[in-house]
Structure 1
Amino acid sequence: MAEKRKITLKDIARDLKLSPSTVSRALNGYPSLSEETIQMVKEYAEKHHYTPNTMAVNFRKNRTSILGMIVPQIVHHFFSTTINGALETAKKHGYSILLAQSYDHLKDEILASQYLLGMGVDGLLISVSNETQEADHLQAFLEEGKPVVQFDKITDFLVGPKLVVDDFEGAYQAVAHLIKQGYRKIAHLSGRMEVKNANARFLGYKKALEDHGLTFNEAWVRPCFDISEQEGYDFTKSLMESPNPPDAIFCITDLVALGSMNYLKSSGYQIPTQVGLMGFSNWMLSDFTTPSLSSVDQFGYTMGSKASEMLIDLLKHQDLGGNELVKLPTELVVRKSSVKG
C-alpha cells in the first residue's frame, strides 16, 4: 500500500478555495482576517494532521535554527561533556547542533567548516585544532553574517568572542599543591607551546615554581605532540631514567597522566610516596585509577553550555560580537596520587 502523502499548505488553500497566503496568515492568527476564516483553516489543518514545513519556513527567513560545532575529538571526555552542555542549552532555545570533528588537524577542520557552512548553519562553535595557525576558513562564516564563538582551544587569527578556562591559574594551583606536599623536583609533560591553553598551563607551572623558590629546569619539560597516553608513558620513562629524575609530574591532561601512571607502576615506583602525579581535566577515570588521580576540573559541561548561550545571544541580536575573552574558573581536585601524608 502506498504511503499517504503529507498534506501541504497549498492543499488546504485548494480545498477551502482560499489563497495560500490567506491560509498561511490564518494559521499564524493574523488579526486582519476574520475569526471565522481563522477558525475554519485551523480546524481543517488539525483534522487533516497538517504540520508546517519548518525547513522551508527557515529557508525563507534565511535561518535553519541549527548551530555548527567542531571539536578536535568527539570521544575525548572533556569534549564529550562540552558537547553535552552545548546540546542541552541549544535545545532549550529551540536550536539543534550539527557536529563535526577535526581530529586535531587543520586540514580536517577546514573541510568540516566548509561542510557546515554549506549546510547553512546559523553560526559556529569551535575548539580549534592544535595545527590551526590561520583562520580564513572561519572568517568565511563572518563574511556571511554568521557569528563564530571559539572555546577552550582558541586562535587570535580570528576576531570574535572566545571562551576559555583559566588554564594559567589551574596549573599554578596544581603545582603549588605539589610543592606544599613536599615535592621539589616537579616535571611537566606539556602540550605544544604554540597552542594557547597548553602555553598558559606551562606558564602557570613555571610561575608556581618561581613563587615558591624552586628553580625551573628546562630538562624536566617534555612537550607532547599528540597529547596521548603513549606519550605520557614514554616521556615519564625518559625522565625517570635520566641522571636527575623528578619526584613529581604535572601532566597537560589526565590521559597523559594515565600513561605516566602506567609507566611508574610497571617500573615499581610508589605513587605518591616516591613520585607525585597530577593531571588536568578531571576525567571520570580519575576517580577509578589506582591510586586515584589528582586533577584540575575545567568544567566541560559548563563551558559547552556557556559557549552555546553566547552564540545564541549573538544570533538573537544579529551581532557578530567583539573580541571579548571570557575566562571560567577551574577547581583543584585532590586525590591520592599527590598526597604524601
Structure 2
Amino acid sequence: MPEKRKITLKDIARELNISVSTASRALKEHPDIADETIRIVKAYAKEHHYVPNVLAVNFRKNRTYNIGLIVPELVHHFFSTVISGAIDTAKKHGYNVLVSQSNDILDDEITACRTMLASSVDGLLISISNETFEGEHIKEFLAEGKPVIQFDKITDELETPKVTVDDFEGAYQAVKHLIGQGYSKIAHIRGRKEVKNANERAEGYHKALEDHGLEYSSDWVKVCNMINEEEGYQFARELMESPNPPDAIFCITDLVALGVLKYLKEAGFRVPDQVGVMGFSNWKLAEIVNPTLSSIDQHGYEMGVNAAKMLIHNINNPEKREEENLMLKTNLIIRESSNRKKFQN
C-alpha cells in the first residue's frame, strides 16, 4: 500500500481557494488575517494533520537552529552540568544542541568540529582538548561567518568570546583555606603545563603560599597527563613516601582528589587530621565520598547558560556580535577532607 502523501501549504491554499501567503499567515495568526479565515485554515490543517516543513523554512532563512557543543568528556560531572545549562538555554530560544566529545584528543576534536560544520550548525560552543593550541580547525567556523564561544578550557590563539571561571582566585582561596586550617606543607597535583586553566590554578597555589610565607618545594608539585583517579593515587603515594612528605594536597580536579583519598585511606593516613585534601570542580561525588571532599565550585550550569546566551545572541545579531569575555566567580565548598580545626575541637 503506497504511503500517504503529506499535505502541504499549497494543498491547503488550493482547497480553501486562498493564496499560499494567506494560508501561511493564517496559521501564524497574523493580525492582518481575518479571525474567520484563521479559524478555517487552522481547522483544515488540524483535520488533515498538516505539519510545517521546518527544514524548508530554515533553509530559506539560511539557518538550521542547531548549535554544536564539543567537550573533552561527556561523563565528566562538570561538563555534564555545562551541557545541561546550554541545552536548557538553547531550548528557550528555539535552538537544538548537537553534543560531541573530543576525548581530550586533538584528532577527535578536529573530526567533531568538521562533522558539526558539515551539519551546518549555526555556531559552536567548545571547551578545547589538552592537545589544542592554535585551533585551525575551529577557525574554519569563523571563516564561514559562524560564531564560536570558547568556555572553560580555552586558547588565546583564537579570537573568540570566552566564558571561564576565575581559576587563579579559586586556587588561591583553596590554598588559603588549607593554610587557615593549620597545614603548612601543601603539595599540588596540577594539570599539563601547556593548558591555560591548569597554569592559572598553579599560579594561584603558588601565590597563596608566597603571601603567607610558606615553604614551596618543586618536589611537592606533580604534573598530571590524563587528569584521572589513577594519577591522583600514584602521585599521592610518591608524595607521602618521599623524605619530606606534605601535610595537605591541592588537586587540579575532584577526580584526581578521589585517587588521593583512596591512597591515603589504604595507607592508613587520617584525613583531615594528618593530611588535608582539596579538589576543584565540586563534583556530585564530592558530597558522598568518605570523608566528603572539600572543593571549588566552578558553576558549570551557569557557565553553560551564559555561553549559550552569548552564542545565540551572536547568531541572531551578526552585525552586533558580543566580543567581550565573561569570567565567573568560584565558591569554596568546605567539607570533611580539609576541615581539620572542626575535628580537633
1:290-339, CA deviations, whole angstroms, 9 ceiling, x for partnerless residues? 11111011111111111111111112212584652211000001111112
Shift of 1:143: 1.6
Where does residue 168 of structure 2 map in the other structure? 168
- Per the TM alignment, residue 28 of structure 1 is displaced from its structure 2 partner at its CA by 4.2
SS at match of 2:340: coil
Alignment CA distance shift 1:33-1:263 (3 Å)? closer
- Where do 1:63-142 residues align within 5 Å? 63-142=63-142
Q: What is the root-mean-square deviation of aligned Cα atoms in Å?
A: 1.9
Q: Greater shift after overlay, 41-50 or 28-37? A: 28-37
Matches within 5 A, 1:195-274: 195-274=195-274
Q: CA deviation at 1:29?
A: 5.3
TM-score of the pair, normalised by structure 2: 0.93
Q: Name the counterpart of 2:159.
A: 159
**Ranges in structure 1 where 5+ consecutive residues have no aligned partner:** none
Q: State how far apart, in whole Å, the 2-side matches of 1:104 and 1:333 are.
A: 27
Q: Deviations over 1:198-251 (max 9, x none)?
A: 111000000000000012211111110110000000111111111111111000
Q: Give the match for residue 192 of structure 1.
A: 192
Matched-pair contact (CA < 8 Å) for 1:160–1:322: no
TM-score, length of structure 1 as denominator length: 0.94
What is the rounded CA distance, in whole Å, between the counterparts of 1:270 and 1:34 in structure 2? 78
Matching residue of 2:307 = 307
How many residue pairs were aligned? 341
What's the CA shift string for 1:79-135, capped at 9, x where partnerless? Answer: 001101111111111111011110111111111111111111111111111110121
Amino acid in structure 1 at the alignment position of 2:84: N
Deviation at 1:7, TM superposition (A): 1.2
Secondary structure at the counterpart of residue 338 of structure 1: coil
Paired residues of 1:153 and 1:196 also in contact (CA < 8 A): yes
Aligned equivalents of 1:215, 1:280: Cα separation in 2: 22
Establish whether residue 147 from structure 1 lines up as the match of residue 152 from structure 2: no
**2: CA distance, partners of 1:31 / 1:259:** 64
CA-CA distance at 1:42 after TM superposition: 3.6
The 2-side partners of 1:201 and 1:31 are apart by 57
Task: Tell me whether 1:328 sits opposite 2:328 in the alignment.
Answer: yes
What's the CA shift for 1:180? 1.0
Question: In structure 1, what residue type is equivalent to 2:213?
Answer: G
Q: Structure 1 residue 26: deviation in Å?
A: 4.5
CA-CA distance at 1:50 after TM superposition: 1.3
Provide the rounded CA distance (Å) in 1 between the counterparts of 2:54 and 2:224. Answer: 47
Residues in 2 aligned to 1:97 and 1:319: alpha-carbon distance in whole angstroms: 23
Identity of aligned residues (%): 62
Q: Is the 8 A contact 1:142 1:320 kept in 2?
A: no
Write out per-residue CA displacement over residues 154-175 of structure 1, whole angstroms, 9 at most, x where no aligned residue: 1111111000000000000000
